Amino acid sequence: MTSAEAASDRLLIRDLAQVATADGRSAPLRGASLREVAVIENAYVLCEGGHIAAVGATADLPALPADVTEIDGRGLSAIPGLVDCHTHACFAGDRVGEFALRAAGATYEELHAAGGGILSTVRATRSAGEQGLAAALARHRQWMLASGTTAFEAKSGYGLDRETELAQLRVVRAAGGVPTWLGAHALPPEFSERGADEYVDFLIQEVLPDASEVAEAADVFVERGAFDVPQARRYLTACLQAGLALRLHGDQFTELGAIDLAVELGARSVDHLEATGANGIATLASSDVVGVLLPASALFLGRPMPPARALVDAGAAVALATDFNPGSAFCESLPLVCALACTQLGLSPEEALVASTVNAAHVLARADRKGRIAPGFDADIVLLEAEDWRYLAYHLAGPVVHTVVEGGRIAWGSRA
């Protein structure tokens, strides 16, 4: 790390070509406000005590005390630290062998039905131990940071037994992530005879009391071969009563009614939506549930993209996330997701930025302090290797992230 990570708790980034951030303070943003990005040219950002103290034109920079660490922002632009509100980053092992099988024609569903897929990661995660999991997540966390992610959510769901589910949640929390309990991700082998209803009983009776102490939200995979709507309703209702916020994996392959259930239960989000049709779009748009779009997953599996443009035009609040996991989206890069949003989902760079900052922070109940470069917000900032911030989405898979500031300190990058 460089000398810029010195003792001073004041950090000044000056002479930036641009600072781009969502306007205003409200969240989530939808409709026309999803496009309201304020851009300040020739700008500075001053951080103090881990928070943004001021942002403005460098020409208006006030006199500052001597103990300020400075970053020369010439040639760079700044956006808020990216917020990844949907990942499965706490996993052991990989699925590169399955990836090769898929490249040769096997489908994700076929691999899952044959006992591979999610269950293959469950085997690796169960045998990793809590320390092994922490090491794996630390490695993944570094990849995410290098891609500009300063706040992340990560789900359990690769334990599917009491000890490993709880270990995953603890590891996510210890790494500074937002833990989501995805106990209802798949049916573990020891329940294959007894079935999903009994597994849901087990989750509610044996795991929820402790999971609700560590997790902030619960999630369920509503899909053929995973959990149906009545099972999901039972699981989520118990989780809600235990104080957890609710999320759903819905409409990934099949429209089974996940959006209706999300609205019925007042969920924070319903995520995936690749199979969502006109009724689902209308229902989501007239609700407070955020639609979390995961285009890297659709790309990685060669599946249809979610109807993002229709959702936004109908007035839905949408967020973007990676879905980072070893099987359906081995991709930690939100800049790549923003590129997919603009090239595949019909969103503008402004909509992509707001969806991966403010609206993603809202899904994690942190929009009051994350997702904007504004006084009082956490000093989480990404400096892009470009004078125009829209390179975030434009430079497809390029080295667009120059420096990442987290809590007012350089967390990743080079130039001081």
- Nearest distance from C-beta of residue 297 to ligand NIG, angstroms: 5
Candidates 1-9, 159-167, 324-332, 406-414: pick the segment binding ligand NIG (CB under 6 A).
324-332
Residue 249 near ligand NIG by CB under 6 A: yes
User: Tokens 């939506």 sit at which residue?
Assistant: 273
Total residues in contact with Fe ion, by rule CB under 5 A? 1
16 contacts 76 by C-beta, under 8 angstroms:
yes
Q: Is residue 88 part of the contact set for ligand NIG (CB under 6 A)?
A: yes
Q: Cα 306 from chain centroid?
A: 16
> Which of residues 283 and 328 has its CB atom nearest to ligand NIG in the complex?
328
| Cis peptide leading into residue 179 (ω within 30°) | no
CB of 363 vs ligand NIG, minimal distance in Å: 15
Q: Are strands 51-57 and 37-48 parallel, antiparallel or unpaired?
A: antiparallel
What b-and-e string marks burial along 341-361, b requiring 16 or more CB atoms within 10 Å of the CB? bbeebebbbbbbbbbbbbbbb
Pair 182, 155: CB distance under 8 Å: yes
Query: Of 212-241, which residues contact ligand NIG (CB under 6 A)?
Result: 221
- Angstrom distance (rounded) from CA 392 to CA 33: 20
Kindly state whether residue 297 participates in binding ligand NIG, applying the rule CB under 6 A.
yes
Of positions 260, 274, 323, 380, contacts ligand NIG by CB under 6 A:
323
**Taking contact as CB under 6 A, which single stretch among the options 321-329, 363-371, 384-392, 399-407 is the one that binds ligand NIG?**
321-329
User: Which residues fall within 8 angstroms of residue 392, CB to CB, at 6 or more apart?
Assistant: 79, 335, 338, 349, 352, 353, 384, 400
Q: Which of residues 306-335 bind Fe ion (CB under 5 A)?
A: 323
Residue 118 interacts with ligand NIG (CB under 6 A): yes or no: yes
* Count of residues engaged in binding ligand NIG, rule: CB under 6 A: 13
223 token code pair = 């899909």
**Candidate residues 73, 116, 117, 371; the one interacting with ligand NIG per rule CB under 6 A:** 117
Options 77, 168, 252, 359; binder of ligand NIG; rule CB under 6 A: 252
Among 179, 291, 327, 408, binds ligand NIG (CB under 6 A): 327
Q: How far apart are CA 412 and CA 205, in angstroms?
A: 42
Quick one: which of 356, 309, 310, 358 has its CA closest to 337? Answer: 356
C-beta of residue 73 within 8 angstroms of C-beta of residue 403: no
Q: How far is CA 120 from the centre of its chain?
A: 23
- Minimum distance of ligand NIG from residue 324's CB (angstroms): 9
Q: Is 322 in the site for ligand NIG (CB under 6 A)?
A: no
CA-closest candidate to residue 329, choices 39, 89, 23: 89
223 makes contact with Fe ion (CB under 5 A): no
**Under the criterion CB under 6 A, does residue 84 sit at the interface with ligand NIG?**
no
Nearer to ligand NIG, 249 or 390 (CB): 249
Q: Which does 252 bind (CB under 5 to 8 A by kind): ligand NIG, Fe ion, none?
A: ligand NIG
Residues in contact with Fe ion by the rule CB under 5 A: 323
Residues in contact with ligand NIG by the rule CB under 6 A: 88, 117-118, 121, 221, 249, 252, 297, 323, 325-328
